[in-house]
């Protein structure tokens, strides 16, 4: 499965919003907008401080695997029309518990990954 495009050669934390928007935009509600901000902050933290989160990956490697993971999840569970926020709510539940469950699942997925080979 091809990952979603990450829009720049560096693929640093500054590209997270483009990645998220490429995956699917939230509904436009204030709660969904806060979730988008929260997702951006959470992944930016992972990119900058992976060791504190116990992750083996950082930066571009993390974004690469996030794009693969979320695209796979959206495809597998047929949530493409809902975008990432609708998927998160439908699959893991609304509110903080759903958000935490999603990232717990993503963290377990990451634990099985290795850094992306550099060209």
| Residue 62: how many other CB atoms lie within 10 Å | 26
Q: What share of the chain has pLDDT > 90, as a percent?
A: 0
pLDDT at 10 over 50: no
Distance CA 58, CA 75 (A): 25
| Residue 98: per-residue pLDDT | 76
Q: Is the dihedral of CA 31, 36, 40, 46 positive or negative?
A: positive
Residue 100 clears pLDDT 60, i.e. is over it = yes
Predicted pLDDT at 87 = 73
Tell me phi and psi for residue 108, to 5 degrees.
-65, -40
Helix (H) or strand (E) holding 12: none
Mean pLDDT of the chain: 60
Nearest-CA neighbor of 25 among 15, 37, 11? Answer: 37
Rounded to two decimals, the pTM is 0.47
Determine the angle formed by the axes of helices 83-92 and 16-23, rounding to 10 degrees.
70
């Amino acid at each position: 499965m091809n990952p979603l495009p990450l829009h720049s050669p560096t693929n640093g934390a500054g590209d997270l919003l483009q990645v998220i928007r490429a995956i699917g935009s939230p509904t436009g509600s204030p709660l969904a907008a806060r979730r988008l901000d929260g997702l951006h902050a959470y992944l930016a933290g992972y990119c900058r401080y992976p060791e504190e989160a116990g992750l083996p990956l950082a930066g571009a490697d993390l974004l690469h695997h996030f794009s693969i993971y979320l695209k796979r999840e959206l495809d597998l569970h047929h949530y493409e029309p809902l975008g990432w926020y609708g998927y998160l709510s439908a699959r893991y539940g609304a509110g903080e518990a759903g958000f935490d469950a999603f990232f717990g699942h993503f963290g377990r997925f990451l634990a099985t990954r290795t850094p992306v080979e550099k060209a």
